Amino acid sequence: MEMFEGSCMTSTLAQERAGMNSLTNSGEFDKFYSKSHTFVKMVGEGKSNRAVFLVGRCGTGKSYMVLTTLKNCGLKLDKDFCYLNNHLTPLGFYEFLYKNRNKRVIVVDDVDTLLRNKNAVPLLKSILDSPTGVRVVKWTSSRALGVPNSFIFSGTLILLMNTVPKNMDVEAVLDRGWVAQVDFDDVGMANLIRSISKKPYREVSEEDRWVMSEYIINNATGENRISLRTLVKGYDLMKYTPDWKKILQQLI
């Protein structure tokens, strides 16, 4: 899997995404992500330029599903689309959009905080919709150094979040795009983990993959502990040390 630029993706997160690269295919996406997968495919295939909002707890594979689906649609990272997982101010978001204005798709992860900023809402509205059909994005403050105060945006946003802030302004933003809730209870996450563990992962044997998935499912505590990221970390620990259980127990 390609490495993302440092400004877009940390090396640790990139390693986690790379580790998940062989875990899931389109069949799992259709089975477990259904509506959200359909929306992302529509964008990736150029059938829709409407924004996509994916909502769901961390560790459920939202970002991995999006990135892999776009690549399966033939889009190339850093050429056709880009990915950002840093927390942004509205100004930082504006500058990032301008610098990537020629990308077909822009994927932004963890936008919960951005949506809670009152200055971000009108910015997002102008990005997502326009009565004339031409989306002109503006930043009137002189603080936008090195970029113009306005530009035309023709790409498509895919925004990922854990929760939706409860206010009318955010609802007006969501109304301008496709919204999909990626909800897994503990049983659903267990089924997803078991399905994923059937897929080859580097040098980890089929038996060891099963052992790892069952260990995580039976020992994890807390709503965010059963996750695909934990599964990948467990595989890597299992390859490295026979004492993997002691270390993994501290993570789950």
Report the pLDDT value the prediction gives residue 2, as an integer from 0 to 100. 32
For the chain, the average pLDDT equals 82
- Note the pLDDT tens digit of each residue in 31-60: 677 888 899 999 999 998 899 999 988 878
- Note the pLDDT tens digit of each residue in 146-158: 788 889 998 999 9
Report the pLDDT value the prediction gives residue 137, as an integer from 0 to 100. 87
> Which pLDDT band holds residue 30 (cuts at 50, 70, 90)?
low
Q: Tokens standing for 98?
A: 């301008």
Question: Residue 165 above 90 pLDDT?
Answer: no
Pairing of strands 136-138, 52-55: unpaired
Report the pLDDT value the prediction gives residue 11, as an integer from 0 to 100. 37
- Note the pLDDT tens digit of each residue in 188-220: 888 888 888 888 888 899 999 999 999 999 988
Cβ-contact 28, 36 below 8 angstroms: no
Of 27-36, 121-130, 166-175, 215-224, least confident by mean pLDDT is 27-36
Give the Cβ contact number of residue 93 at 10 Å.
24
Q: What is the pTM of this model?
A: 0.79
% of residues, the chain, pLDDT over 90 = 33
Cβ-contact 25, 164 below 8 angstroms: no
